[in-house]
Amino acid sequence: MASSSSNNSSANNHGGNSNNPLNRLSLKSAGKRNQESMSHSQPNGGWINVETLNNGNGLLHSPPHNHQQQQQQQRGGGGVSPPGGASSGADHNIQITQPISAPSSPLASPGALNSSSSSSGGGGGSGGGISGSPTAFCLPSSSAAAAAVAALSATPTSGSGSYVCSAGTNWHFAAVAASNAIDTADPNWQASKATVLERNAAMFNNELMSDVKFVVGGEFDIDPIQTIPAHKYILATGSSVFYAMFYGGLAENKQEIKVPDVEPTAFLTLLRYLYCDEIKLEPEHILATLYAAKKYIVPHLARACVNYLEVKLTAKNACLLLSQSRLFEEPELMQRCWEVIDAQAEMAVKSEDFVDIDLKTFESILSRETLNCKEIHLFEAALNWAMNACEKMTIDDTPQNKRRLLGQALHLIRIPTMSLEEFANGVAQTGILSSQETIDMFLHFTAKVKPSLGFPTRSRAGLKTQVCHRFQSCAYRSNQWRYRGRCDSIQFSVDRRIFIVGFGLYGSSTGAANYNVKIELKRLGRTLAENDTKFFSDGSSNTFHVFFENPIQIEPECYYTASVILDGNELSFFGQEGMSEVLMGNVTFQFQCSSESTNGTGVQGGQIPELIFYGPTTMTAMSSPSNSLCATPIGGGSAAAATAAAGTAASNGSNLTSNNVNGSGEDLAAEGST
């Protein structure tokens, strides 16, 4: 691994917050670690460079997508079932119905029934750390271990592959050591161990037959120095670094080896993996464990650490983890961090840990073109960062000192793109800018002839929203779609992380109208976000977009429930010919009916035709069919195309109704909810 001045700078500028479990590892001399500790001599006088690891995906259990009809029949609804009880039929025979009245209390979300399975499916299946133990990362044990190992590592592993869950604190390691010492005190202890793995595990942290000792810790005050016994042969079979250390041409026959730059808990976690083939990770030691795995070139343990960090990645820790992923040269983790920071930039820069990132990471964030954040929020975050830097250097946090510490990073903030009010009431009052800079900035906002400025004047591009449209056509009837305070709801899952921004909804079918709407996003019955807002419907079949206050992170292979309650014109358009699976770009959406839907919306038809999101944009959108009558691009798209689609829907309304919505309005109302 290269040891660059940027790494030294990164380490020197990163203090960390000891209260944050993911920031427990102190990095005040991490640059020195990279330079001195993470390269190791080989017998031939060369170097073993720590490899850059690509993270594998954790084992994920796919949601049950193939039982939608059975679920609907069990719920007593036939809202989207073919008429006559037929098990299959042409699309034009599918009925879209609404209930006569709302149930007194909606059933629990079907996704909640799968909570136990979704939370036990490995690192990725925990849905971003929402469920599961907050203090330990648990990989599946016994029969599921092989699949989890295959998902985390590209190379097969030997041994039993046992992965168990444990708190794994220092007292636990001491208890294991005491237990192993008692166990092996019996002269015939080997007879009780049936496998090589069991016999090796009995040697973990055990003085018996130990031929080397490690004096671990001391560089930091996090843990006291600890002497750990070990066995050269076992270590050498698990790490090329230990092999070179003990059996290489330049090996030294030392009985005691000092390792001041590794935390004792992290070193014991490394040894536990080498002895027992077990991975037990804790949030407060995860970065230290990743450092140890990198230093001694144990790639599978490093991959498990990276996977754990990705599972726990949120806007609150993304900036800090970005700083660490740069230090540890983990490009995939860096990419995941950027995805979160771009989409939830305001939350990320306002997080408690933002002030602890190093200068290089700080500058890289401010120079990001795709940040979805107002410049005033970036300016305020920069002031907080500078104030924290002053505290670390024990100097007064005066405007002059803050400006000096910010350096060129201040000129990465696009102050001219702020509103005049934001500048006058915010930036101009802080004293960070010089008098001449302040005057020039006011002239930029007000004068026809604008002065040249030392700040970028072009707004950031931000992320472009994408739209997943789940219906192939839409329609209206003389007595549908009605609301009366009932809930329209649909469940969905995706195959990769995205960020939901809002929903597209149908509006009035009888002319222009205003709607009050409450939108909500849930997972396993827990509300992730909600917003009470309004929209104006112009009477066309176009969709109308409503948004949450902040983007919501959506983890792959987990079901979420999108819900809306509309209050406005009773009659509106509704979707038909719904698709249970939609490919949008390189994101696959899967839909299933929700028991919380009390107004008739389901997979085949109803409301919530669109999910608006931030996501990967490398592939061309392929989800909406070319003949969709209701698809409307989020950015406005082609106005002519949208108008033509609306006109087609209006002119063909009677045909759509007769072909796709069979029966009279009274029959439809009597069918019941999906």
- Full DSSP string of 220-267: SSSS--EEEEE-HHHHHHH-HHHHHHHHSTT----SEEEETTS-HHHH
| Alpha carbons 469 and 583: distance in angstroms, whole number | 10
For the stretch 451-476, pLDDT in tens is: 999 999 999 999 999 999 999 999 88
CA 567 – CA 586 distance, rounded (Å):
35
Residues 191, 178: Cα–Cα separation, whole Å = 20
662 pLDDT above the threshold of 70:
no
How far is Cα 414 from Cα 457, in angstroms, rounded to an integer?
6
Please give the pLDDT value at position 436. 95
Residue 177 sits in a domain of what CATH number?
3.30.710.10
Q: 384 and 431, same structural domain?
A: yes
Residue 346 lies in a domain: yes
Q: How confident is the model at residue 180 (pLDDT cuts 50, 70, 90)?
A: low
Residue 53 included in any domain: no
Same-domain check for residues 347 and 418 = yes
Identify the residue with better confidence: 670 or 36.
36
| pLDDT at position 49 over 70 | no
Same domain, 378 and 412: yes
With respect to residue 8, please indicate whether it lies within any of the assigned structural domains. Answer: no
Least confident of 97-111, 165-179, 297-311: 97-111
Residues 536 and 586 placed together within one structural domain of the fold:
yes
Q: What value does the CA radius of gyration of the chain take, rounded to a whole number of Å?
A: 30
pLDDT per position as a tens digit, 108-132? 333 333 333 333 333 333 333 333 3
Same structural domain, 381 and 497: no
Statement to judge: residues 441 and 480 lie in one domain: no
Q: Which of 176-190, 218-232, 529-543 has the lowest mean pLDDT?
A: 176-190
Residue 479 to residue 435: CA distance in whole angstroms: 66
Secondary structure letter of residue 354 according to DSSP: G
3-state secondary structure of 590: strand
* Higher per-residue confidence, 52 vs 610: 610
- Please report where in the chains the tokens 């907080």 appear, as a residue: 384
Mean pLDDT, range 351-359, rounded to an integer: 94
CATH code at 358? Answer: 1.25.40
How far CA 416 is from CA of 272, 281, 335, 482, in Å, comes to: 55, 46, 29, 48
Statement: residue 373 has pLDDT above 50? yes
Q: Looking at residue 568, which CATH number applies to its domain?
A: 2.60.120.820
Please report the pLDDT score of residue 96 as a whole number: 53
At 376, the pLDDT band (50, 70, 90 cuts) reads very high
- Please identify, among 295, 312, 329, the residue that sits at the C-terminal boundary of a domain: 312
With respect to residue 145, please indicate whether it lies within any of the assigned structural domains: no
Instruction: Give the mean model confidence (pLDDT) for residues 294-303.
Output: 94
DSSP string of 473-516? Answer: EEE-BTTB---TTPEEEEEEEESS-EEEEEEEEE-BSSS-EEEE
- Is the predicted pLDDT of residue 181 greater than 70, yes or no? no
Residues 504 and 425 grouped into a single domain = no
Q: Are residues 418 and 479 in the same domain?
A: no
Asked, for residue 364, whether it belongs to a domain, the answer is: yes
Residues 439 and 476 in one domain: no
Given a contact cutoff of 8 angstroms between Cβ atoms, the answer to whether 414 and 460 are in contact is yes
Domain boundary pick from 591, 614, 637: 614
Instruction: Give the three-class secondary structure for 526.
Output: strand
Is 192 a member of any domain? yes
Of the candidates 535, 548, 560, 543, the one whose C-alpha atom is nearest the C-alpha of residue 614 is 548
Of residues 162 and 8, the one with the higher pLDDT is 8
Q: What is the pLDDT of residue 47?
A: 40
Task: Give the range of the structural domain holding residue 438, as residue numbers without chain letter.
Answer: 341-446
Q: How far is CA 482 from CA 478, 511, 572, 598, in A?
A: 10, 15, 7, 12
Residue 25 domain-assigned (yes or no): no
pLDDT band at 104 (very low <50, low <70, confident <90, very high): very low
pTM over 0.95: no
Is residue 136 scored above 80 in pLDDT?
no
479 and 596 in a single domain? The answer is yes
- Note the pLDDT tens digit of each residue in 192-213: 878 988 888 888 888 888 889 9
**Residue 494: closest CA among 80, 139, 59, 127:** 127
Domain boundary among 268, 292, 312: 312
- How many residues can be counted in the chain? 674
**Does residue 348 sit within a domain?**
yes
Tell whether 373 and 298 lie within a shared domain: no
Q: How confident is the model at residue 542 (pLDDT cuts 50, 70, 90)?
A: very high
Res 498 pLDDT > 70: yes
Mean of per-residue pLDDT scores for the chain: 73
Which pLDDT does position 206 carry in this prediction?
86
Q: How many folded domains does the chain comprise?
A: 3
587 and 515 assigned to the same domain: yes
